[in-house]
Amino acid sequence: GVGVVATGAGMLAMSARRTEPVGARMGAAAEEAGARNIVSAIILDIRAWDTMGEITVLVVLTLGVTSLVFLRRRSYRIEPSEHAPAERTHWLAATLPRGQRALAFEVAARLTFHTVLVLSVFLLIIGHSRVGGGFAGGIVAGLAITVRYLAGGRNELAAAVPVHAGVLMGAGLTLSAGTALIGLLFGRAALEMLATDVHLPLVGHLHVSTGLLFDLGVYVCVIGMVQDVLRGLGAELDRQIDAEEAA
């Protein structure tokens, strides 16, 4: 019994913290970066290169996974199904066969879609000073797009996001990587965020940072990844099933 107690005490003594916690310094680092949100300061300024690498890996993985599903050459647009109307004259036009439609779900999805998108943009903008950011805003927008796809199939997905997923992911990576050049143009380090305070007549005091551009690139990348996954693992599989049933 004494040996067990002595061993436990020794293990606790060896695992004791000897260095000063860095949590107290995070607040000062966030203020130096011009941010009030410590998490955003870490993602966008202190460890911006890690974030850049993470979104690059996520984009490559998304393209790799969805490419395994496509048994033919990727099309630039999502092909409409044979059940899609030739011309939509009203906002509740049918996008699925009659037996597969859930009218209440379609109405709720279309009514709340733009509101959720506005919420995602709000999370993107306030992420530098409050809870939010590009990842959070992109996930919220991706959920709205996913609900549209679940409500109306691949035709609804094409209507919700008419831009190709590859264009979105490429534009997001370009915007985030291009933010690194802004610091170099002003003699700063790469990906060093620049911030300034401006006063607009109607808006009032506004804190502007290049971190918002970097976060915007992350936001667009996340939306593109969600769209590509839905297109590859959902819309393309639906097209293949329809083709097999037609054959």
**What stretch of H or E contains 33?**
none
What predicted TM-score, i.e. pTM, was given to this entire model?
0.74
Report how far residue 173's alpha carbon sits from residue 63's, in angstroms, rounded to the nearest whole number: 14
Strands 204-209 and 195-200, how do they pair? antiparallel
pLDDT 10s per residue in the chain (247 long)?
Answer: 677 888 877 777 776 666 676 666 666 666 665 666 666 667 666 677 888 888 899 899 888 888 777 655 555 455 555 555 555 544 544 455 555 667 777 788 888 999 999 999 988 887 766 767 888 899 999 999 999 888 877 778 888 888 888 899 999 999 988 887 877 787 777 777 777 777 767 656 766 777 788 889 999 999 999 998 888 787 666 676 666 666 6
- Which residue from 134, 132, 129, 161 is spatially nearest to 145, judged by alpha carbons? 161
- Please say whether the dihedral angle defined by the alpha carbons of residues 198, 188, 193 and 225, taken in this order, is positive or negative: positive
Q: Angle 40-42-43 (CA atoms, 0-180°, nearest 5)?
A: 65
